[in-house]
């Protein structure tokens, strides 16, 4: 998925640098659910060199800052799932999830009916976030 994001999922790509990209999750848990991934197709952290690790974590930090400015969440869930058994939907391509959280945003429908209710259309969230990512200096 991530390797082809600029061609297949261009409408979800917020940022693409030399080594790192940020895309919106096509099936978000909540508005603003972002995925930060190396462009290079790798499955585990040990495949990154120190520079690659720094670029990846720097973009996670920058993405959180943008979400804070644009969406004003009360907190975040940030993490990665390594391997299919750990819940990785795209196990062969390492990626961090950044999920903004607001007080009272728990969605019981996901638990009971595998349904997600997102209060804002994906395109509206994209349109809100894209100008912030466009202003980022390409440092990776």
Question: Known catalytic residues?
Answer: 95
Beta-bridge mates of residue 16 = 21
CB-based contact 133:15 (threshold 8 Å): yes
State the Cα–Cα distance between residues 33 and 85, nearest whole angstrom. Answer: 21
């Amino acid at each position: 998925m991530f390797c082809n994001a600029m061609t297949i999922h261009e409408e979800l790509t917020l940022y693409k640098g030399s080594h790192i990209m940020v895309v919106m999750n096509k099936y978000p848990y909540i508005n603003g659910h972002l995925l930060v991934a190396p462009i290079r197709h790798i499955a585990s952290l040990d495949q990154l060199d120190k520079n690659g690790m720094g670029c990846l974590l720097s973009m996670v930090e920058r993405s959180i800052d943008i979400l804070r400015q644009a969406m004003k969440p009360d907190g975040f869930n940030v993490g990665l799932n390594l391997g299919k058994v750990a819940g990785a939907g795209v196990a062969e391509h390492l990626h961090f999830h950044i999920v903004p959280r607001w007080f009272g945003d728990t969605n019981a429908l996901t638990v009971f009916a595998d349904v997600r209710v997102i209060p804002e259309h994906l395109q509206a969230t994209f349109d809100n976030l894209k100008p912030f990512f466009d202003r980022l200096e390409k440092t990776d």
